[in-house]
Structure 1
Amino acid sequence: MIKNFEEYQNFTSLLKKMAYHYYVLDDPIATDEEYDTLYHQIKTYEEKNPGQIIPSSPTQRVGNGVLESFKKHKHLERMWSLDDIFDSQKLQEWINRIYKTYPKANFTCSPKFDGVSLNLYYDKGILQTATTRGDGIEGELVTPQAKTIPSIPLEIPYQKGIEIRGEVVITREDFEKINQERIQSKQNLFANPRNAAAGSLRQLDPKITAERKLKFIPWGLGKNDIKEGSFFKTINQILQYGFYPTPFVTFCPDIHTIQKLHDELVRMRHTYPIMLDGMVIMIDNIAAQKQMGFTIKSPRFACAYKFPAIEKSSKILSITLQVGRTGVITPVAELEPVEIEGATISRATLHNYSEIEKKDIKIKDTVIIIRSGDVIPKIIKPITSLRDGTQIDIIKPTQCPVCGSELLIEEIFIRCQNLSCKARVKESIIYFASKKALNIDGLGEKIVEQLFENKIISNILDLYSLDLEELLKLEGWQEKKAQNLLQSVKNTQNIQLWRLLNALGIEHIGEGASKKLAANFGLDIFKKTHDDIVALDGFGKEMAASVIDFGIVNKILIDKLFTIISPQAPQTTNVNMTIFTDKTIVLTGTLSKPRDQIASLLESLGAKITSNVSKNTDFIVYGINAGSKLDKANALKIKTLNEEELNKMLKDENIIF
C-alpha cells in the first residue's frame, strides 16, 4: 500500500514510464501483473485522497461520464488543407516556386497517414483540449476520448501555450481484430482503418474509445510562440515529450532526397502496419513558413505529395443521371462492386458526356477505376480488348430525368434550366441548411425531402414562411421538434454575410472566397463588376464570372433573402479617412514581416489587397525578390513602395508598425 504523497508521486512516475514503454514504444519494462498491481495501488490511494490526484496519472485517462453530444470548439489557429501534387514534374514546379523566394531552402518531409486529424492544446504543460479537424475553423471537442489514447501525454514539459497536431490512426491488424469482434456481436463492420479510427474517437462513452488501440502520431503545430529555427528539430523535440515516435520524418536538403523518400514510402505502403496515402513536404525554416503565409485554402510553404492512386477493374452495369443544384447533369456509372483499400466501390463519376465520348466508354464495358484517399472514385478508361459485343453506347439525355424539361446541351456540360426542378431545388435547400452554410439545425436531407413531398416548401424562401400548424400535421412531428426547427430558421437572421454567400452555393465560391467577398465588398457584392472581383487576391476569371452570372440570374431571390435575413457585413476598423482608403495595393517579394500582418493592417486602414497587378492598382509594396509583379508595375507606371517608404507613410498617419 502507498503510505504518503511522496510515495504516490514516485509510484505514479513509475507507472507513467511503464505505460509509455508498453503502449507507445512497444517495449515493455514490466509484466502485465506488475503494471496492474501498481495501477490499483495508485487508484486506491487516489480514491482515499481525491485532493492529491496528479492530473497526468494514468488512472485519469478514462472518465466515468458519458457525453450527451459533442460540443463545437474553435481552433486557436486554423487547420489548413494542403495543396496536392501527384508526380515528379509537379514536385519540381512546386520546389521552383519556393526557390524563387528562398533559393537555399531545406525541407522537412513526413508520411501522410490515412487517419483522423486531431488538434491538441497544451497550456502550462497540461492537456487542455482535444478537437477534431472539423471544417478547419472549428471541430468537435473530444478531450475525454483523446485522454484514453496512451500516446497522447496528459502533461508535457513545454510550459507555453501550444497546439500540437497529428493523426489518430489504427493499425491494419487491430482494425481486423475490431471487425472480428463486431462480427461476433452482430454489429456493422468498419469499411477501413480510417473509418475505425474515426468511429472510435467519436464515441460518446470514452470507455469504448479506450478499448480500441488508437495511436496519435504528431505531424505539425498550430498556435505557438516558436518564431524561428528548424521545423525538423522542433518536431523531433516535441516527440521527446511522450508522443508516439513519428516514423520517417526526414530532413531533405533538395528535391532528390524528397523524391527518394517518396519512392521508398510508395514501395512499402501496402506492407506498413498503418495506412499511408502520401507524404507532406514543408519548408524547414519556421521564420520562412510564417513569411510565406497562406492562400485562401492552404499554406504556401507546404504541400502533400500524394501516392499513385490504386487501380482496380470493374464492369459498368448501368448509368444513373444526377441533377446538381446548379442544374448540371452528371452521369454516374453503377458498377459491379469492387474493393479498393478496404472500401467497397459500386459507383464512379463519369464527369460529363464529353469525357465519355473522348474515352469511348460504354455500358457493359470493363473499366479501370482509381481511388486515391478520400477522392471520389473515377473511371480512367475502358479495356476495349475485353469487349464481347454486348456493350451499349451511352446516349446524351435530352430531357431532365427529374422534371422532364428540355435540357440545354452545351459544349461540355448538359444543364436543366428549370429553376423549379425538384432535384435542383431540393439540393439547393439541403446545401443552404447544411453545417457548412447556414447550419439550420433539424433541417437535414430527410426533413427537406418530407417538407418538399408534402408541398410545404418548394424553394429556399419558403423556409421563412414555415407554419407551426402545418408542421404538426406531418408524420413524426411533435410541437418541440417543430418549434426547434422554426427557431433554427429564425436564428439565421442577422447572420454573417459570408455565411449567406456560402449558403447560396455559387459555383467555384467556397467558404474562403465568401469571406473575402464579404470583407471587400460588403452588401454591395452583387453590384460589383467583373474587374472588381477578379482583382481580389486568389480570384480568377472563372470565379468572377460565377459571381456575376449568379447575381444576374437570381437577382429576385438574392434581394428577398437579403431583406429577410439582413446579413451582417464585416465592420471596418478605420474610422477616419487615410491615404490608403479605397486604394488597391499589391504585396510582393519577401518582406520583413508576414504578408498577412501587413495586409491586415492596410485593410484596417481602408485598403483593398489584391494579388494581381493591373491598371486599377494604386500601390505595389515590394520586398526582396519581387520579380515580375514589380516589373509590370513599373511598366504600367504604378507607384512602388519599399518597406522603408511604406513605414514612412504609416508614420505620417501616426501609425507605428
Structure 2
Amino acid sequence: MKPAERAAELREQLAYHGHRYYVLDDPEIGDDQYDALLDELRALEREHPDLVTPDSPTQRVGGEPVSKLTKVTHLQPMLSLANARSEAELRAWVERMRNHLAREGIEAPAFEFVAEPKIDGLAISLLYEGGALVRGATRGNGEVGEDVTHNLRTIGSIPLTIPYQGRVEVRGEVYMSLPDFTALNERRASVGLSTFMNPRNSAAGTIRQLDPNLAAERPLSMWCYAIGVSDLELTSHWQALEWLREHGFRVNGDVKKLATEDEVVQQCLRWQERRGALDFEIDGVVVKVDDFELQRRLGVVGRDPRWAIAWKFPPTTAVTRLLDIKWNVGKFGDLHPFAALEPVHVGGVTVKAATMHNEEDLARKDIRVGDDVIVLRAGDVIPQVISPAPHAVERPGRADPPLPPARCPFCDTPTVKRGVFTRCPNRECPERRWQLLTTFAHVMDIDGLGEKQVALFQRLGLVKSVADFYRLDRDALLALEGFGEVSVNRLLASVEASRARPLSTVLFAVGIEGVGYVTGRGLAQQFRSADALLAATPEQIAETPGIGPVVAELIHSQLEELRPLFEDLRGVLQLEEEGPPPGEGPLAGQTFVLTGTLPDLTREEATQHILRAGGKVTGSVSKKTSYVVAGASPGGSKLEKAERLGVTVVDETELLRLLNSSG
C-alpha cells in the first residue's frame, strides 16, 4: 500500500476510534492499540511531511505557544440565563411566556420543552467552515470572547472536521470530570505542584493557557448543547441536538424532550436528586422552549432569552465564625457590608470573606460580630452570609447590632442615608474613584487595566479621571516595576483601540447611576450625541424606551456633575452615535441575509456596515428578506430558498454599491 493511502486509512481509523472513545464512551479497541495506530501515522508523516493534513490526529497538539489571547466578536451574542430556584418560579416563567405570546397574538401556545444538565464548566463557541474547525472562543462578556482554538484542538471530544461543508457555530461547555480532576491533582501533588481547587477553575485555567502542550496534559472534555449562527434550516432545538449527534459532537444522553411543564418540574427534581452521583459537576438544569419560531417570537430581555431559564440547585453551605463586619464603597458611593470570616471550605473553595448585601438585609437577618454564621456560595459562585446559625442567636453576650459607619472608612466624609443605602457623597472618595476607574476599564475592554493596575496608577497620581487613561505616558509606564516593553505596548494599544467604542458603551462606562448596557444603547439611539443628552430635560430622557420618570430624574441629576468629564473626553472618545437614526439611512427598511465567505469583508464587518446604513441583518431567508449577500461556499439551502421566493442575490461588490447609494 502506498504511503498516502496508508496515511489516509490510519486517519480514518483513528477518527472512528476517537469518536467511539471520546464522544460515545464506547471504545472498540484498547488504549495500546489506539496508540500503536497513532505512532504508525506519526512515523509515516515524519518520513513524508507532505502527507500531514490539518485534520490529522497528530495535529491536535502542535505549534508554538501563542503570545496572547486575542479578542473575538461572536457572530451572535452568547446570552446569559435568568434563574428559577423553585417549582413556583419555573411555572411563573411559563406563565410569563404565555402572556407575552398572547400579546403577540398567539393564544394557548403548544409548548414543548428540552431539559438538559447545566454543566459547571466554561462556555465555548466552535466555528466550522467548509467542514473544518476554524475558530474556538470563550464566552467572555457574551459579545466578545477570547480565541482559544489552539487549546480546544487538544480536546479529543471536539471534532477537528465534520461531514458538513457549510458554516455552523456549535456551542457547548468545556469541563473536567470529577475522576479526572482527582487524578490530575494527585499527579500534581506527587511532583510538588500546587493542586486545583475545583474542576471548573481547572478547566477555565487550562483553556486560557498560552501553550497548547499544557492544555493537552489536562483531561478536558466538552458537552455540546446548541447551534448558534449557521447555514442550516433547523426548526427546533431538539432537531439541532440531533444534528449535532449525527455530525460527531458529544451531546449529553440524558437530555430530554418534554411535553408539559409538569414533566419539566419532575425532570429538574430528578437531576437535583442524582447530582451527587454524577461524575461531573452540574449546578442546575437548563430548560428551553423547543420550537425556534416560538423562541423568535418570545425574544430577549436585556441579555436573557425569554424562552430559556436555568433551574438552579440549592447551593452548598457551611458554618463558620464571623470575625468582623467591614464596609466597601461602590462606584455610586453606596456602602456595602462584607464579612471577614474564619476560613471555611464551601463548594470546593476556601472562603475568608463573603458579601452581606446591604445594611437593611444585615439588620433583618440580625447578624452580629462573633456569631457562628451560615455561609453559602449563591449560584455556586459568590460567597454570602445568609443567617446566624440557630444556636448563635441564643448565645449570651452577643455583640451589639452592627451599624453603618458615620464617616466613610476611605475618605472620612460624613455619610448620608439615601434609600436602602448609607452613602459616601464624595465623588472624589479614593475608593469610589477606584471603583469608577476599574468599571470604566472593564466596560471599555482595556486589556491590561485590571484592579491592581488601576490602584497602582491611582496611588502614583498617574490617573485621577477616566480621561487620564488616554494621557498615560509610555516612558513613565516603562519606569514602573513589573512593566516591560511588551506589556506597556499591549496596554497602550488596548487604550488606543478603546477610543473606537460607540457612544452607548461610553455612557455605560463613565458611571451614570441607572445606566447599564441596555439603557446606554437606548440613550445613544435616542439622543445621538452626549451634547444632546446633557441638554435634555428629565421629561425628554423619559421618552427613551425602557426609561421611566424616576430613572430619568436620577440620570438627569447626575449629568450636570458629569459635564466636565464629558468635556475632558471630547475629541478622545466617540461622543456621537455613528450611522443614521433608526429608520433612516440608505438601507432603511431593507433586510439582508449573509451566506458564504466574502472576498474582503468579514461577516461581522458586513453586518456592521448594513446596520450603520439603517438596514437589518437576519439569519434566515423569508418573504421579508430584501437581499441575500452571497460569498464563496454559500449555504445551498439559503440560495435555493432565495430563488424560490424571488429574493435578489448580490455579491460583495453590489453590497458596497448599495451601502454607498443615496437612496
Bin for the TM-score computed over the shorter chain: 0.7 to 0.9
Shift of 1:43: 1.8
Per the alignment, in what secondary structure is the counterpart of residue 233 of structure 1?
helix
The yes-or-no answer on 1:14 pairing with 2:22 is no
Q: Which residue in 2 is equivalent to 1:351?
A: 357
Provide the C-alpha distance between the structure 2 equivalents of 1:601 and 1:38, rounded to a whole number of angstroms. Answer: 51
Rate the CA distance shift 1:63–1:537 in 2: closer, same or farther, 3 A: farther
Residue of structure 2 equivalent to 1:147: 153
Question: In structure 2, what is the equivalent of residue 362 of structure 1?
Answer: 368
Confirm whether residue 499 of structure 1 aligns to residue 505 of structure 2: yes
Q: Within 2, Cα distance between the matches of 1:483 and 1:602?
A: 33
Within-5 A mapping of 1:135-534: 135-386=141-392, 387-393=394-400, 394-434=402-442, 436-437=443-444, 439-466=445-472, 474-475=480-481, 489=495, 491-493=497-499, 495-523=501-529, 524-534=532-542
- Give the deviation of 1:130 after TM superposition: 0.6
What aligned pairs does 1:587-626 form with structure 2 within 5 A after superposition? Answer: none
Q: Is the 8 A contact 1:493 1:567 kept in 2?
A: no
**In structure 2, what is the equivalent of residue 569 of structure 1?**
577
- 1:187-222 deviations in whole A, cap 9, x for unaligned? 332221100111111221112211211111011111
Q: Is the 8 A contact 2:17 2:29 kept in 1?
A: yes
Task: Return the match for 1:555 from 557, 563, 569.
Answer: 563
Deviating more after overlay: 194-203 vs 372-381 = 372-381
* Cα RMSD, aligned residues only: 2.9
Task: State the shift of 1:431 in Å.
Answer: 2.0
State how far apart, in whole Å, the 1-side matches of 2:188 and 2:280 are.
Answer: 21
Q: Which residue of 1 aligns with 2:134?
A: 128
Q: Distance in 1 between matches of 2:584 and 2:252?
A: 52
Deviation at 1:379, TM superposition (A): 2.0
Distance 1:87 1:542 in 2: 32
What whole-Å deviation, never above 9, does each CA across 1:149-185 have from its counterpart, x for those lacking one?
Answer: 1111111123221111000011111111222222233
Which sits farther off after the overlay, 462-471 or 296-305? 462-471
**What CA distance in whole angstroms lies between the structure 1 residues aligned with 2:491 and 2:460?**
17
Q: 3-state SS of the aligned residue for 1:277?
A: strand
- CA contact under 8 A between 1:277 and 1:372: conserved in structure 2? no
Bigger Cα displacement from structure 2, 253-262 vs 89-98:
89-98
Q: Structure 1's 452 and 575: CA in aligned 2 closer, same or farther, altered over 3 A?
A: closer
- Please tell me the residue identity of whatever aligns with 1:549: S
**Map of 1:51-90 to 2, 5 A cutoff?**
51-90=50-89
- Describe the SS at the equivalent of 1:269: helix
**AA of the residue aligned to 1:186:** G
Q: Cα distance, 1:113 vs. partner?
A: 0.5
Any conservation in 2 of the 1:499–1:511 contact (CA below 8 Å)? yes
TM-aligned CA deviation for residue 466 of structure 1: 4.5
Out of 34-43 and 141-150, give the one that drifted further: 34-43
What is the deviation of 1:63?
Answer: 1.5
Per the TM alignment, residue 249 of structure 1 is displaced from its structure 2 partner at its CA by: 0.9
Once the 2 structures are TM-superposed, how far is the Cα of residue 343 of structure 1 from its aligned partner?
1.6
Distance 1:224 1:534, change over 3 A: farther
Question: 2:383 and 2:550 mapped to 1: Cα distance?
Answer: 26
Deviation, 1:85, is 1.6
1:107 aligns with 2:106: no
Partner residue of 1:634? none
Name the SS of the counterpart of 1:377 in structure 2: strand
Rounded to whole Å, the distance in 2 between the matches of 1:66 and 1:319 is 45
The one-letter code of the counterpart of 2:284 is: G
Count of matched residue positions in the alignment of Structure 1 and Structure 2 = 585
Pair 1:542–1:380, CA change in 2 (3 A): farther
Counterpart-to-counterpart distance in 2, 1:169 and 1:575: 44
Task: Go from structure 1 to structure 2 and tell me whether the alpha carbon gap of 1:537 and 1:276 turns closer, same or farther (over 3 Å shift).
Answer: farther
Offset of 1:543 from its aligned partner?
Answer: 4.6
> Post-superposition shift, 1:143?
1.1
Structure 2 residue ranges without an equivalent (≥5)? 590-608, 617-663
One-letter amino acid of the counterpart of residue 403, structure 1: C
Structure 1 residues 15 and 510 mapped into 2: Cα distance closer, same or farther (>3 Å)? same
CA contact (8 A) 2:121 2:175 kept: yes
Whole-angstrom distance in 2 between the partners of 1:467 and 1:67: 28
**Contact kept in structure 2, 1:495 and 1:568, CA below 8 Å:** no
Q: Deviations over 1:227-267 (max 9, x none)?
A: 54232132023123222231321111111110000000100
Partner of 1:627: none
Q: How big is each residue's C-alpha offset from its partner over 1:339-371, in whole Å with a ceiling of 9 and x where there is no partner?
A: 222121221111222112111111111222222
Same amino acid, percent of matched pairs: 33
* Alpha-carbon distance, 1:59 to partner: 1.4
Tell me the SS of whatever aligns to 1:331. Answer: strand
CA deviation vs aligned residue, 1:2-49 (integer Å, no higher than 9, x gap): 634333322321121222222333322112222122112112222333
Larger deviation, residues 540-549 vs 216-225:
540-549
TM-score by length of 2: 0.82
Q: Distance in 1 between matches of 2:391 and 2:71?
A: 54
Looking at structure 2, the residues matched to 312 and 497 of structure 1 have their Cα atoms a distance apart, in angstroms, of 45
Match of 1:457, SS?
coil
Residue deviations 1:397-439 (CA, integer Å, cap 9, x gap): 10010111100123410111112211111221222223x22x3
Q: Distance in 2 between matches of 1:542 and 1:185?
A: 61
User: What CA distance in whole angstroms lies between the structure 1 residues aligned with 2:615 and 2:48?
Assistant: 60
Q: Residues 528 and 577 of structure 2 are in contact (CA less than 8 Å); yes or no, is this contact kept in structure 1?
A: yes
Pair 1:384–1:71, CA change in 2 (3 A): same
How much does 1:296 deviate? 2.4
Amino acid in the other structure paired with 2:561 = V
Match of 1:610 in 2: none
Q: Name which of structure 1's ranges 401-410 and 30-39 shifts more when overlaid on structure 2.
A: 30-39
CA deviation vs aligned residue, 1:381-401 (integer Å, no higher than 9, x gap): 213433432421212210010
Q: Aligned partners of 1:525 and 1:80: how far apart in 2? A: 29
**Deviation string, structure 1 residues 570-612 (Cα, Å, up to 9, x no partner):** 211789799x99xxxxxxxxxxxxxxxxxx99997799xxxxx
Distance 1:205 1:508 in 2: 42
Task: Tell me if structure 1 keeps the 8 A contact 2:503–2:577.
Answer: yes
Q: Do 1:530 and 1:548's aligned partners in 2 also have CA atoms closer than 8 Å?
A: yes
